[in-house]
Structure 1
């Protein structure tokens, strides 16, 4: 299992706009809140995404980019992004390779992809891991608090 203090595994995925997102491109620039979620437009995932949306400026002010990852298609992500006016990128991990790279466990008897959030600092080090299927919006509050602590220690 990945742990706090580990180097975040690098990856490259396509965004909803067709651009390429590379984690390594963020190093030295900004922290990343990388959140894995089960499925576009489901109740818990919508609540989580909209909570990140509503507090997105706070994350930007703390020098962080929010990035959502699920195995849904780019087309599904585009609809989800447009419907809920999400200002951050969603990444299509169609084969689940990045989910496996980050060792995100399956949930509910292995039936659903898990919901896990990683806070990765500017150096690419994992500073926080939060794993909870049922407390979707807590991922947002927890990530913001970790970033505040990192910001105040610098």
Structure 2
């Protein structure tokens, strides 16, 4: 994973509507990048729905959430709509962003990982789950965020 204290690499990716979204457009806000293996998989769905159910905790901390996987914008649109996800999903189809952040697993898939970036664009926290069959529960994620 990318080291804490380092500048977060900028990127521009399409969202679920095909609009291009750049990390730099969030300068002045905290951003949580949530890397996940794929839409509509059991663990990813549980993870993102857990974050959806607790989105007020991110809002209270002034954190914008961006979900990233290699799935297409169309897949993200369907997935977000079906599960009423209130945050932006970005299509990293070439896995360039996952690679830049060190979030590629041994099978070439995006790991289940997250990176907290501060208002100035510096990495404050980086974490990845070794096994893609589990995810960091919201309460544990918030503890790590609050400690960062």
TM-score (norm 1): 0.87
Match of 1:42 in 2: 41
Asked if structure 2 preserves the Cα contact closer than 8 Å seen for 1:67 and 1:90, the reply is yes
Match of 2:7 in 1: 7
Give the stretch that moved more between structures: 33-42 or 128-137: 128-137
1:5-154 matches, within 5 Å, as 5-28=5-28, 30-107=29-106, 110=107, 112-132=109-129, 133-138=132-137, 140-149=138-147
Q: CA RMSD in A?
A: 1.6
Deviations, residues 93-142 of structure 1 (Å, cap 9, x unaligned):
111111111121314xx26431111011111111111111233143x334
Asked if structure 2 preserves the Cα contact closer than 8 Å seen for 1:51 and 1:137, the reply is no
Return the offset for 1:74.
Answer: 0.5
Matched positions, count: 146
Return the offset for 1:149.
Answer: 4.2
Deviations, residues 57-80 of structure 1 (Å, cap 9, x unaligned):
110111001110000001100010
Asked if structure 1 preserves the Cα contact closer than 8 Å seen for 2:95 and 2:110, the reply is no
SS in 2 for 1:44: helix
Consecutive unaligned residues of structure 1, counting only runs of 5 or more, are: none
Runs of 4+ deviating beyond 3 Å: 140-143, 146-150
Asked if structure 2 preserves the Cα contact closer than 8 Å seen for 1:47 and 1:137, the reply is no
SS in 1 for 2:50: helix
